[in-house]
Structure 1
């Protein structure tokens, strides 16, 4: 039995290993930025603003609380706490360092990809006097939505790292889609993003993750399994 088999490395079930993922991811990045720049050209009163206005007219205290809870819970601080907590659980409780690094890197890459869009597009938020946003979000960082990008990236990481192919993964994909959709709708509901912002979030986070998966699966993960530090952090599998 080899040393690698002797160690208790939990197998990764990451698919999507083709180098072709890199150009696909680049195309998604370019498509996202194009959508953002076109949407920005309409100014604050973009055609998709009508969706925000319609949702703002249907507000009620319960939905307000849910929307604000998502806003603060998945904000920068909340997102970091969630990601760090899951990675720490995988690293020190599950004793699965490869899973921890894969989960953390996939989520971080997808989430931080939205920052490239924000910097490049620099779109104004929906006009407060029209949507009557529940919170003040000034600045030129509307496109894409960081909250939605984090939700999509987190869903990607759960699907790829924490589930096995088969019925479990199919149900997790459905849950991930619903989770991302709820977060995206909440951003429109509270009046801080346009529909194109949340669509762009899913596209750009997916593009970043596809590029990362090609690099992770083909270059990084095989080398990480042979590092001494990760070997020490991984329990030894019992011999028979």
Structure 2
């Protein structure tokens, strides 16, 4: 059985690695923003993709645009917390999901502001479905939210019978969301790729911080609900 000291050390190492990945993502964004030639290459790719539009793909892309947009996203967080509460029967697990999804999601906007990469020139595309004038592009907010929510649910729903299908569904949904943003021409390919990497690292970092905080709380208040939350978080049933 892993000792508490060893487990804490492992969590700290994971947190440091996640922080390093986040710094790499920000650095990559700053480099991409400064590289006009690379941006022009990606814009040409978006124009080529734009010619492949079909009514069926348009409907799927617009549905994803609505589902993971800022108007519906808060309701999905609440729904996700309800699903976790139903399956895990632990209020702390639902609260954990809320924290490890919303903080990285908000952090995505901070990274956007820091990097400052403008959106693609949507108006120059021959087939326009979504016109988002202005705004920032790196990383993709829709893709980031979908990845944060689904990675968060994978971390908080720990029953083995749910894990495999949830991981498979998460991969398909996140890739479909990323592809839809490129398909609509509202993000460059590097935007959506970076958003996936960012989301996995950010959710992992916040989750580790949550576990360390709950461990500290459990030590200070033996028998408190946090004890059960920490034990539940580390169970691999």
* Shorter-chain TM-score above 0.5: yes
Paired position in structure 1 for 2:233: none
Select 1:220's aligned residue among 193, 214, 220.
Answer: 214
What CA deviation, in whole Å up to 9, does each residue of 1:103-162 have, x standing for no partner?
A: 111221332221121110111111124334411112241111010001111121121112
| The one of 18, 23, 31 aligned to 1:25 | 18
TM-score, structure 1 as length reference: 0.79
The CA deviation at 1:222 is 6.5
Greater helix content: 2
- What does 1:158-237 correspond to in 2, within 5 Å? 158-165=153-160, 168-220=162-214, 223=217, 227=224
Greater Cα shift, 107-116 or 196-205? 107-116
> What's the secondary structure of 2:11's corresponding residue?
coil
Q: TM-score with structure 2 length normalisation?
A: 0.80
Structure 1 moving runs of 4+ over 6 Å: 228-231
- Please tell me the root mean square deviation across aligned C-alpha atoms, in Å: 2.8
Of residues 52, 59, 62, the one that matches 1:68 is 62
Which residue of the other structure, out of 120, 139, 143, is the alignment partner of 1:144?
A: 139
Aligned length: 215
**Structure 1 pair 228/99, CA: closer, same or farther in 2 (3 Å)?**
closer
Q: Which runs of 5+ in 1 are unaligned?
A: 1-15, 232-240
In 2, Cα distance between equivalents of 1:153 and 1:17 = 22
1:156-212 Cα shifts (integer Å, max 9, x gaps): 1121112434x6423322221111000000000111000011011112112211221
> Which has the higher relative contact order, 1 or 2, with Cα contacts under 8 A spaced 6 or more apart?
1
- Structure 2: stretches of 5+ with no match in the other structure: 1-8, 229-237
Cα distance, 1:80 vs structure 2 = 0.5
Is the Cα–Cα contact under 8 Å of residues 35 and 196 in structure 1 kept in the other structure? no
